[in-house]
Structure 1
Amino acid sequence: MIWVYLILAAIIATPLIIEATRKRMGDKARATAPGQFAQLSQGITHYQWYGPGDGPVVVCVHGLTTPSFVWQGIAKGLAQMGFHVLVYDLYGRGFSDRPRGLQDRAFFLKQLNDLLEDQGVDNDITLVGYSMGAAIATTFAARAPRRVHELILLAPAGMVDLKKGILGFMARTPVIGTWLMLGLYPILLRKGLRAEKGNPTSVAGITDLQDAELNWCGFVPAVRASLAGILSEDLQEAHRLLHREDVPVLAIFGDKDTVIPLSSRDVLQHWNSDAQMAVIGGAGHGLPYSHTVDVLEKINGFVQHRD
């Protein structure tokens, strides 16, 4: 009978041991990182600037699992348009710190506000958010609409429930949810990455870079903290406020996206009838790196029209 208990204990302990023995983000890893680092109130944040220093500021906010390298193609394209582009790693991802706790809108807005203050950005900005980053950008714009010149949302989260099935159970269930997240989520993520392997991309080796995130301690808990946090929040009032405040909004969707379905467009249009909508044919959820040229064309048309 003791063998049964030992086997059960080993099964229970394995995901916890794997997480505890993953690589720790620190000075050694950061020595090879592009860009710079800022010591903010919640920890160290990795960031990078692109484009002319005197250009209008664009801030790009990445999504749930893919750090700021997701913006390489988009940021270079925006820089060529004359923008001064700031990209950064959300906490728990990339080269930024891994603070513990719930990752709700207050958590992410604190990081963004801290970074803007650290970088001396006090004029109005253009915000570009991708997936969960679109939810962060939306809540920032709703909190400070006069600071946002325009808001651009790529495959935006916030209109549909992303926590269905096993993901929802893992996000909202204490203890067992954490254990399942540590054990199952890497398998689920890698399955999705294998399906994208070999697809066209503006970010060289992006699936390998995305897979490598799983090697770092704190990444999977950060994903769970975001699922239980900002991705569980209702953004309807934030979008309605943007409509009332006349903040210009462009939302871009991929018609093959299985994460953010095209039905999200209709929900967003209902909440903000002034928001401009664009759909890129053949694009899935990775549209910022799989359909970079198309996305840049949509953005350029939007900002040129506004100018």
Structure 2
Amino acid sequence: METVSRCFGGPAESRSTAVVATTVVTTVALLSLARLALWPKKQAVILGPLRTSIPRLSKAEIDEVPYPPGAFPGARDVSTPYGDIRVYEFGPEDGRKVLFIHGISTSCMTLKDIAMPLFEKGCRIMLFDLFGRGFSDAPGDLPYDTRLFVSQILLVLASSPLAWTGDNAISIVGYSLGGGIAANFAATFPHMVESLVLLAPSGIIRPENFGRASRLIFASGIIPERILAWLTKRRLRQPLATAVSKKPRAPADNAPQSGTGKEDYADVAIQEAVDPADEKPPTPFEQRVLGYVHWALDFHDGFVPAFMSTIRYAPLLEQHHYWRQLARRKPGTTAVLLGRDDTLIQLDDYVEDALPLLGGKDNVYWQVVPGSHNFPFTHGPDALKHIYKLWGIEQ
């Protein structure tokens, strides 16, 4: 009875110790539950729409998808340890082999106005959807950095029945994020890339061009993953006007501009769809591209996680060490095309920062074309004429 008495009717110190212990155990349990809820365990592979959403849609619903499964000829799905990759390959087997790499928030549909005319000129075309975009699966437990994207390119090239490797085997056309990826790939495998065309490429964007709050939210890891994913998804659903209303317009009288011009990271996604500098209503194709972003939010479970990881780790900023290596390329084999009204890849910044890294205009084909960040599909012919000139293709 004395032992029982000690257990249930002990001194005040024992009761205090029990209260503290109970509080600690409860707190740890609650924190563990909160961590599981807000920082969930990551999947190895998040399946894409071809294996989740598309099979549940009717034929009529599939026909309404902004980026349909049959967008290009020669479709195949490449099975890899990272998940399936959607690839399209078509054109003459003996034609110039051209690999296209699209941007951060869209699919390879945005390069149609460049790829199809080159196909008609006799090129062998290969397009693919980056992980977490289009119809490709999304690795859920890896950073979306240069290592992952270079690995994806090698997997895509290896999936072809034709030889896409070797000395001067391919030409690469990279747009936006795809330009940053293409630059790093060409710097890593210089012997493989005969010609490199960068359309509004990322890589040398100045960090201060993004708002401090936006950088903190995405880079710090302070905000739990589930909450950040919800915020990102909500932001990408907002109307276009809210993303570009703060953009400074170039005044006719050259008066000082108002506004900070700071970008929200979500603006990167939206500017790939619609030209914020154009006062005219979006074109039907711009509406389709923007419609695809909204469709992906609903039907691609890996889209938002891939976008968030890309913002954190992909070659958007401070890729100077890769770009310096591109200066060693043979003069005239690297081209950079920039949009005159692009507020994301800012012309003056790239002239000052990127052009010297590439060896100057004597070493690189450097041109400014009409349009904003999405000029590859709003001013495709203007971009194409420079590619034709670079490659000696008759126009």
2:155 equivalent among 102, 108, 114: 114
> Helix, strand or coil: the match of 1:145?
coil
Contact preservation (8 Å) 1:171, 1:178 = no
Q: 1:202 to 1:232 in 2, by over 3 A?
A: closer
Q: CA deviation at 1:175?
A: 5.0
2:308 equivalent among 224, 228, 236: 224
User: Which residue is equivalent to 2:188?
Assistant: 143
Deviations along 1:122-141, one digit per CA (max 9) or x if unpaired, are 24100111111111101110
User: Which residue is equivalent to 2:318?
Assistant: 234
Q: CA deviation at 1:266?
A: 3.0
CA distance in structure 2 between the aligned counterparts of 1:92 and 1:256, rounded to whole angstroms: 29
Deviations along 1:144-179, one digit per CA (max 9) or x if unpaired, are 101001100011101113654343223212250634
Structure 1: segments with no counterpart, 5+ residues: 1-12, 17-21
User: Which residue is equivalent to 1:51?
Assistant: 91
2:379 equivalent among 280, 291, 300: 291
Deviations along 1:103-128, one digit per CA (max 9) or x if unpaired, are 01001000101111121422410011
Confirm or deny that 1:157 pairs with 2:202: yes
2:343 equivalent among 225, 245, 258: 258
CA distance in structure 1 between the aligned counterparts of 2:356 and 2:88, rounded to whole angstroms: 36
CA distance in structure 1 between the aligned counterparts of 2:77 and 2:143, rounded to whole angstroms: 23
| TM-score, scaled to structure 2 | 0.67
CA distance in structure 1 between the aligned counterparts of 2:153 and 2:328, rounded to whole angstroms: 23
CA distance in structure 1 between the aligned counterparts of 2:317 and 2:364, rounded to whole angstroms: 21
Confirm or deny that 1:211 pairs with 2:309: no
Structure 2: segments with no counterpart, 5+ residues: 1-36, 41-45, 56-61, 63-68, 245-273, 276-280
Correspondences of 1:18-167 after superposition (within 5 Å): 25-27=49-51, 29=53, 33-34=69-70, 35-100=75-140, 101-119=142-160, 120=162, 121-123=164-166, 124-161=169-206, 163-167=210-214
User: Which residue is equivalent to 1:276?
Assistant: 365
Contact preservation (8 Å) 1:73, 1:202 = no
Contact preservation (8 Å) 1:44, 1:96 = yes
Q: 1:193 to 1:296 in 2, by over 3 A?
A: farther
| TM-score, scaled to structure 1 | 0.84
Deviations along 1:216-266, one digit per CA (max 9) or x if unpaired, are 212111111111112365321211111123262111111111111112233
Deviations along 1:36-94, one digit per CA (max 9) or x if unpaired, are 11112311000112432321110000111011111122110111221111110010111
> Helix, strand or coil: the match of 1:66?
coil
* Letter of the 2:173 counterpart: V
CA distance in structure 2 between the aligned counterparts of 1:79 and 1:61, rounded to whole angstroms: 16
| Deviates most, 184-193 or 206-215 | 184-193
CA distance in structure 1 between the aligned counterparts of 2:328 and 2:189, rounded to whole angstroms: 13
CA distance in structure 2 between the aligned counterparts of 1:146 and 1:172, rounded to whole angstroms: 35
1:184 equivalent among 231, 245, 248: 231
The structure that is helix-richer by fraction is 1
* Letter of the 1:255 counterpart: R
* Letter of the 1:270 counterpart: P
Give the length in aligned residue pairs. 291
Q: CA deviation at 1:208?
A: 1.2
If you compute each CA radius of gyration, which structure gives the higher value, 1 or 2? 2
